[in-house]
Amino acid sequence: MLVLRKMADKAKAVPDRMAGWCLASVTGVEPGDPRDVAALRRLAMGSAVLLVAVPGVLSFYYGAAIALPLGFAAVVSLFLVCAVVLISLGRPTVQAVAPAIDESSRVSPLDLCPGLILTLDPAGIVHESAGRDSALFLSFLRDPFGRPFAEQVHVSDRIAFVQALDELRQGADAVVIDLRLHRPVIGIDQAQFMNVRMDMTATRGSDGELSGVYAQLLDIAGEISIRADASLKEDEAVAAHEAKSRFLAAVSHELRTPLNAILGFSDILAGEYFGKLENDRQREYVQLIRQSGAHLLAVVNAMLDMSKIEAGRYELMLEPFVIAEAVHECEKMLSLQAGNRGVTLTSRIARGLGEVVADQRAVRQVLINLVGNAIKFTEAGGAVMVDASRDGCDLKIVVSDTGIGIAPEKMELIGRPFTQVHNDLSRGYEGSGLGLSLVKGLTALHGGSFLMESRPGEGTVVTVRLPADGSGAGADAAGEHNTVEFPPRLKPVDRPAVKESERETVYDEAKAKIA
């Protein structure tokens, strides 16, 4: 009996394992539910009986060739349908139960934003607050809810707040203003008012009318401190610049009187009006004194003119004059210097150039400085050319030379007072470094432009354009902002890429202070 029971158990275990394997492959759960396995076993046993009975019954009506497959298919189909129904009815419906959400622990996105966020109605009354720093702001605001926010604002800033609200009512989507909020003084270092930036965003209804305002307040105490420091530094820089200009003007003015006396007495000694000099060495020394005094006086005059331009006190005396005469006078004045250096100095005046309206002294100084520089940096055998012509409504003056040129990396130094480009050759080329600074400043005072092109070893071409009718000076002086940069900084003009040896260096735009 025991042997038969074991055999029965083994026979029952085989379909149970097969049923469990099938359930596990279908449901993905290992092992299968024992109740489902037992139901499948009973259903399989019943189906096995039907698998024999049904084809036998059908064989009475149909042939064996039809009854056997038809009966087998019907029993298997019935088995599968019953198995699905049996397992579905026996398995309880599993419903996912969502965990209960604690509404009190939910964090609003507005609470993660920096500063204080307020919800205002169209009248500016506070209804709600949020924000990461709301506790800090609400600690000193005086009962803000249900009251106009303007009551929290400094009296002098309330107009700005009301105007911002009005802009939102009129259709603006957002307005940003800086305000001061009153707060009680807690510590010695704490200010009575907090500087905040208020970013206001409008919300509108279906009719387009303002329905509310979201306002974010951020503490900008650090920015205000930076502004104050920058303003203080700027004031100090302006004061230092003005003090330097006054110092240069005072020193230049005080130096001119003794220099004129030195020049006068050296002329008397050189002319031997009060007796003959004993030897040639004395005459040479007197001539050196005369030359040194004249050079120093020229430097002092340049410093005085530069300080006037910096201070905005250089006054242009506009008058009509023949530009050809000014060019010829400059040529005669510097022809001796050019001859001593072995440089050919020539000029070309366009026909019908006629008169121009400008400050004659300033134009002559521009010519003298440009031509003098060209001669100074041109070796023996070279040439310096001065061209004057009309280009539309402008007077165009071009001074070109075949001198040593200027390296591209040195062009940034052009126009800086007391700065010489050729420092390595400073012993061979004397000068104070004020010539081009004055040229650019005087050109800017006339409302003109300055252009320099140079190639090392080939020469330099300087082009100055001035309004021929003097309108540029009047327009600049009548401008709303009459203070511009000095010393002028010239901007390089974009050029196609070329080889380093063929590179041209170009500077343009002259600026100065205009009284």
Residues 217 and 355 in one domain: no
Clarify whether residues 84 and 163 are in a common domain: no
| Average pLDDT, integer, range 453-479 | 79
Does residue 110 contact residue 117 with C-beta atoms inside 8 Å? yes
The answer to the question of residue 481 being in a domain is no
Residue 291: inside a domain = no
Question: Are 22 and 133 contained in the same domain?
Answer: no
Show which of 204, 225, 246 is a domain's final residue: 225
- Tell me the CATH number at 338: 3.30.565.10
Other Cβ atoms closer than 10 A to 380: 8
pLDDT of residue 482: 39
**Domain identity same for 143 and 203:** yes
Residue 97 domain-assigned? no
Verify that 41 and 147 share a domain, yes or no: no
Specify which of 248-252, 496-500, 507-511 reaches the highest per-range mean pLDDT: 248-252
More confident position, 68 or 511:
68
pLDDT tens for each residue of 36-45? 667 767 777 7
Q: Does 309 map to a domain?
A: no
Residue 480, pLDDT score = 40
Note the pLDDT tens digit of each residue in 343-355. Answer: 999 999 998 888 9
**350 neighbors 390 (Cβ within 8 angstroms):** yes
Of 462, 445, 403, nearest to 428 by C-alpha is: 403
The pLDDT tens digits of the residues spanning 67-123 come to 777 777 777 777 777 777 766 665 554 444 445 555 555 677 888 889 999 999 999
66 and 31 within one domain: yes
Range of the domain at 143: 110-225
Task: Indicate if 47 and 158 belong to the same structural domain.
Answer: no
Spatial contact of 498 and 447, defined as CB atoms under 8 Å apart: no
Residue 388 domain-assigned?
yes
More confident residue, 506 or 255: 255
Laid out side by side, the sheet with 174-182 consists of 126-130, 116-120, 210-219, 193-204, 174-182
More confident of the two residues 138 and 34: 138
**Is residue 120 a part of any domain in this protein?**
yes
Domain identity same for 61 and 116: no
Cis peptide before 456 (omega within 30 of 0): no
Instruction: For residues 55 and 144, state if they share a domain.
Output: no
* Residues 71 and 174 both lie in one domain: no
Higher-pLDDT residue of 19, 481? 19
Closest Cα to residue 343, out of 352, 351, 330, 334? 334
- With a pLDDT cut of 70, the percent of the chain lying above it is 74
**Per-residue pLDDT at 238:** 85
What domain count does the chain have? 3
Average pLDDT value for residue range 393-400: 92
For residues 351 and 310, is the Cβ–Cβ distance under 8 A?
no
- Structural contact between residues 183 and 196, judged by C-beta atoms closer than 8 angstroms: no
Sign of the C-alpha dihedral computed for residues 66, 69, 73 and 79 taken in this order:
positive
Cβ neighbourhood burial of 302 (10 Å; 0-12, 13-18, 19+): buried
Check residue 500 and give its pLDDT. 43
Do 85 and 145 belong to one domain? no
Residue 496 lies in a domain: no
- Are residues 208 and 336 both part of a single domain? no
For 75, the token pair is: 């029993």
The pair of structure tokens assigned to 292 is 């040194």
Backbone angles phi, psi at 513, to 5 degrees: -80, 140
Position 275 pLDDT exceeds 80: yes
Highest mean pLDDT among 57-61, 303-307, 375-379: 375-379
Does residue 182 carry a pLDDT above 60?
Answer: yes
Which of 186, 209, 225 terminates a domain? The answer is 225
The DSSP H or E segment spanning 409 is none
Calculate the alpha carbon distances from 228 to 180, 181, 237 in Å: 16, 19, 14
Determine phi and psi for 234, rounding to 5 degrees: -65, -45
In a domain, 207, yes or no: yes
Neighbours of 382 (CB within 10 A): 19
Q: Who wins on pLDDT, 477 or 183? A: 183
Pair 141, 158: CB distance under 8 Å: no
Q: Which of 194, 225, 256 is the last residue of a domain?
A: 225
How does pLDDT run across 410-441, given as a tens digit for each residue? 766 665 555 555 544 444 455 555 778 888 88
Residue 317: pLDDT band with limits 50, 70, 90: confident
